[in-house]
Each structure stands twice: as structure tokens, then as C-alpha cells.
Amino acid sequence: MEKDTIAAISTPLGEGAIAIVRLSGEEAVGIANQLFYGKDLTQVDSHTIHYGKIIDPTTNQVIEEVMVSILKAPKTFTREDVVEINCHGGLASVNRLLELTLQMGARLAEPGEFTKRAFLNGRIDLSQAEAVMDLIRAKTDKAMDVAIKQLDGKLSKLIHKLRQELIETVAHVEVNIDYPEYDDVEEMSHELMQTKTTHVQQEIERLLQMAKQGKILREGISTAIIGRPNVGKSSLLNALVQENKAIVTDIPGTTRDVIEEYVNIRGVPLRLVDTAGIRDTEDIVEKIGVERSRQVLKEADLILLVINQNEVLTEEDEQLFELVRDLETIVLVNKTDLPQKIDLDKVKQLAGNHPIITTALIEEKGINQLEEAIAETFFAGEIEANDLTYVSNVRHIQLLKQAIAALDEAMSAMQAGMPIDLVQIDVTRAWQLLGEIVGDTVQDSLIDQLFSQFCLGK
């Protein structure tokens, strides 16, 4: 592992009260001390903060008034010496400060390199490192709770426990194979392998059952708002966002592109997409918007189909019902504040098993009922208890599925009477796959790829 000292800006760029330049490595304290006018930072206690000024060594010019935190290894995030220089927020001051640390011998950190060092130095495992980025990107309290539990090691502990069960079983079987003094060794080995394999399978399946909810809490529900022009799609977006993001007029075809916005629905992020009204049109710009709307439908987790109570059902409405027949859909009958012209019995027939909500979006009526329907659709009315271990990371979900497949192969081999030493190959494969979740059996190239997705300074 490289021993050089890295530096980066750890706060968002832009004007603000405070900005932080962070250093980590063997020379972190020494580099900061060369720039600092105040106490001798090499002589201060760990986990202390000190007031002083930053001086440019080449000109002796005062650059900044700062507070410097000294955190000495191993009780730091990276398990290396860490220095955090708190300066005034602003592009010029923080960039000048970073440049000085680089001139003194630090290297500009790569994206996620501080967290990568925490992983490589054994402070956290790979699943906890990924939780750091989930915590930064969390858009709701529930998503933040999932990330914090993963960062605390709840998922890691369970994975380590399952891996331990599998490796102990493999070791026990190998001992029995090496010392076959008893006639019933093979039978005992099969029984032990089957019992342990079944238990691990059940635990992984329980995790995967919660994976859909975990993934939703982490990434949100991709939600497409569709309907003919002028039925109230943009009004629905504005009512949920509680802000005038979309233009609302009586003119068909006003929305000509896809408008996206995140909203918080009972602790769950919805990535709302207000699409151009889907209809036949000769307008070239609007036609492009309609095509994009059709593409959004294919990628959405949830469709909100809006129809107008004040108009009779049209052929285009019926085509939309057909388009979403096999998709997760909630039907909104909007404009209930106006006289009813639509045939509601026909709407119920077209909707089939899809929930129907009546709304008057201009008056924001029906929003609570819509939120209840969304919660019922994805969480059976409410999100599961907080003490459950959620799997929300797509990489983790895929590895768990592959581990289940390997254990299925082992079970099939045992039932077919295959020799126990062949069966344990699949069990060992499952053990390795689970190890990739926490980083015990992961390749360097994957580690580099994962941390490259992190922001600078983290």
C-alpha cells in the first residue's frame, strides 16, 4: 500500500461559512506544521484543535485564519495521521490552501481515497465503505437509517457469521475425509453439510426478501406521471413537490420534455418524472418529448396514470390503460372539482387490479390517499421495523443471489448422492461470494472501481 500523504477539499465548493482541507498520511502533521503559524503541531496532543494562521512559506504572506484539528493514528478514520484545516468558505481561499499543502509534498487524493485507506487499513470492511457513500447520497431519513445501520456493521456481522458457518462445515467435512476411521463418516458429513447449508440459505433468502424495500429506500421509486395532455400531470408534480416546477396551463402539449424531481413520501424517495402528454402529434419538438415519455415508462418502478373526470374517455386514454396493464400502476381520476363526464365504471373495468384515487390537484385534494396507495403498493402499508437488516446495494443483491445459486447446486449434488468432496466445492464458492460483499475475497480492480465513484475528499 502507498505510504504517501494525500490531501483534498472535503466540503462542497462554493461560498460558505467554513471549508475544510483534509490530509491523511505519515507526513500530514509535518506538512500542516510547515504552513501553520501558532503552536508547534508536531508537539500537540491527538484529537485537539488549534487556532492560528496559514503562512505561504515562499513569501511569508498570511493566507488564512484557521482552526487546525490534529488526529493521530490509529484512532482516526483512515488509521493514519489526519489533519483537518478549517478555513473560511470560498473558492479562492480553500483552493489556495489546498495548493499550499500540495507544494509542501502532499498528493491530491483520488475520489474516495480516504475511505479506501480506511478499508485497506482494516478500519471498515467493503460494505461499510459503500455505506459511507449511501449516507452522503441519502435523500430521506429512512434511507439515512439504512446507510447508518450498514455503516455500523449490521450487515457485515451477519455476513461474517454466515461465512463462518460455511467454512466450519467445510473444515469439518475435510477432517472427516482425511480420517475415515468410522463407517458412518460419509453419512454424518452429508447430514452436517445439508443442515448448515439449509440454514445459510434461509438467512440469505430472508435478506433478499427485504432487498426490494432496501433498494427502494436507497435509490427511491422511479415514478412516471403519464396521461393525455392537460389532464393534470404537471399539477400532480407540483402538488407532490409543493413547488411550481412544471408549467400548468390549459394549452395541450405545454410539457414538451421530461421533468424530474425527488420528493419524500413517508420516508421513501420518489424520483418523479413528469412526462410530455402521450398523444399523436405533428409538432416535431413535442413528438420527441412523447417518445422520451414512452422510454421512461419502460424504466419506471411505478406509473401514475392521470385521467380527466371532466372529459369522456378517449381512445388515447384506453391505449394508455393497455400500455400499463402489466406495470405497477396507480390510476388518478383528476379534476373532481368539475362536473363528471367520464364513465367511472368503464375506468374501473380498464384499471383492473390497479388502485384508483380521485383527486382535485389544483386544490391538492387526494394527495394523502395517493401517498397511502404508494405505501400499500411497495411496503404493504408501512415500512418494516427498524431492527431489520436491509440489503440495498445492487452489488450485494447480485452476490447474494449467486451465493444462493451455489448452495442450490450443493443441495442438488447431495440429493443426487455425489461425493461430499465435490459438494463442498459449491459450498466454498458460496463462502467466497459472501466474502466479496465485505471485501474479504474481492479483487483489486473491483475495489478501485467502487471507490472511483466516491466524491473527492471522502
Q: Structural domains in the chain?
A: 6-109 (3.30.1360.120), 129-210+391-441 (1.20.120.430), 220-379 (3.40.50.300)
Q: Which amino acid would we find at residue 252? A: P
Contact 383, 267 (CB under 8 A): yes
The C-alpha atoms of residue 403 and residue 411 are separated, in whole angstroms, by 12
Cell output for 274: 413528469
- Structural contact between residues 339 and 311, judged by C-beta atoms closer than 8 angstroms: no
The pLDDT of residue 148? 85
Q: What tens digit of pLDDT does each residue of 299-314 get?
A: 788 889 999 998 998 8
For 411, 414, 438, the CA distances from 426, given in Å and listed in that order, are 9, 11, 19
First to last CA, the chain: 18
pLDDT of residue 5: 96
Is pTM beyond 0.85 here? no
So what's the pLDDT on residue 327? Answer: 86
SS3 of the chain? CCCCCEEEECCCCCCCCEEEEEEECCCHHHHHHHHEECCCCCCCCCCEEEEEEEEECCCCEEEEEEEEEEECCCCCCCCCCEEEEEEECCHHHHHHHHHHHHHCCCEECCCCHHHHHHHHCCCCCHHHHHHHHHHHHCCCHHHHHHHHHHHCCHHHHHHHHHHHHHHHHHHHHHHHHHCCCCCCHHHHHHHHHHHHHHHHHHHHHHHHHCHHHHHHHHHCEEEEEECCCCCCHHHHHHHHHCCCCCCCCCCCCCCCCCEEEEEEECCEEEEEEECCCCCCCCCHHHHHHHHHHHHHHHHCCEEEEEEECCCCCCHHHHHHHHHCCCCCEEEEEECCCCCCCCCHHHHHHHHCCCCEEECEHHHCECHHHHHHHHHHHHHCCCCCCCCCCCCCCHHHHHHHHHHHHHHHHHHHHHHCCCCHHHHHHHHHHHHHHHHHHHCCCCCHHHHHHHHCCCCCCC
What is d(CA 446, CA 423) in angstroms, rounded to the nearest whole number? Answer: 28
Q: 36: Cβ–Cβ under 8 A, 6 or more apart, which residues?
A: 50, 52, 53, 54, 55, 66, 68
- For the chain, list residues with pLDDT below 70: 1-2, 175-189, 243-260, 274-296, 380-389, 446, 456-457
- In degrees, rounded to 5, the angle at the alpha carbon of residue 349 between the alpha carbons of residues 319 and 231 is 50
Question: Closest Cα partner for 156 from 125, 181, 135?
Answer: 125
Q: How many residues would you count in the chain?
A: 458
Determine the residue type at 111.
Answer: P
Cα 252–Cα 258–Cα 261 angle in degrees, nearest 5: 115
What is the distance between the alpha carbons of residues 163 and 344, in angstroms, rounded to a whole number?
A: 56
